[in-house]
């Protein structure tokens, strides 16, 4: 088991197989560990830019995909392939969470989830003009064409 420590100091215990869907965690677990630094499981892995609610969502995704082979590339042939129905429901359940998921998945190095989240964000913007995008994401429009 691996202990993940979120930005809001929650300790989340997760199975190795699920945690290792993240390239970052996989690398950290593979790195040599000096016992003088303490018990590895107790020390946990700090994820300072991932909040607990976002991490739980990401772990839900990792759990669902744990049987699949690792995909470490962003440029795979099926980058624009159909979105699986489970994935679609997962990423569209809370549209604004999609941004957080993209950021966290990028930090945790989970390329398929980054792609999935990016597609969801792109779909949110599809068909909208600049003003609508600014309003939707609360962006200050500091540019006039």
The region of 25-33, 40-48, 64-72, 113-121 touching another protein under the rule CB under 8 A is 113-121
DSSP string, 29-84: HHS---GGG--HHHH-EE-TT--HHHHHHHHHHHHHTTTSPP---SS-TTTTSPPP
Site string for another protein, 117-136 (x = CB under 8 A): -xx-xxx-xx-xxx-xxx--
Task: State in angstroms the smallest separation of the CB of 13 from another protein.
Answer: 26
Tell me: does residue 77 bind another protein (CB under 8 A). Answer: no
Least CB distance to another protein at residue 144 (A)? 8
Q: Does residue number 12 form part of the binding site for another protein (CB under 8 A)?
A: no
Q: Which of 33, 86 has the CB closer to another protein?
A: 86
Angle of helix 111-125 relative to helix 85-92, nearest 10 degrees, comes to 60
Cα dihedral 54, 115, 2, 47, rounded to 10, equals -50
Q: Considering only the stretches 15-23, 29-37, 62-70, 110-118, report the one whose residues sit in contact with another protein under the rule CB under 8 A.
A: 110-118
């Amino acid at each position: 088991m691996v202990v993940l420590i979120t930005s809001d100091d929650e300790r989340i215990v997760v199975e190795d197989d699920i945690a290792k869907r993240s390239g970052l965690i996989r690398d950290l677990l593979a790195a040599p560990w000096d016992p003088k630094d303490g018990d590895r499981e107790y020390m946990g892995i700090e994820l300072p830019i991932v909040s607990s609610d976002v991490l739980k969502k990401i772990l839900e995704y990792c759990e669902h995909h744990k049987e699949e082979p690792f995909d470490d590339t962003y440029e795979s042939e099926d980058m624009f392939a159909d979105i699986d129905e489970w994935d679609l429901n997962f990423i569209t359940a809370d549209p604004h969470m999609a941004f957080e998921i993209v950021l966290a998945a990028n930090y945790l190095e989970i390329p398929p989830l980054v792609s999935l989240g990016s597609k969801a964000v792109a779909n949110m913007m599809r068909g909208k003009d600049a003003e609508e995008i600014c309003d939707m994401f609360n962006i200050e429009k500091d540019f006039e064409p």
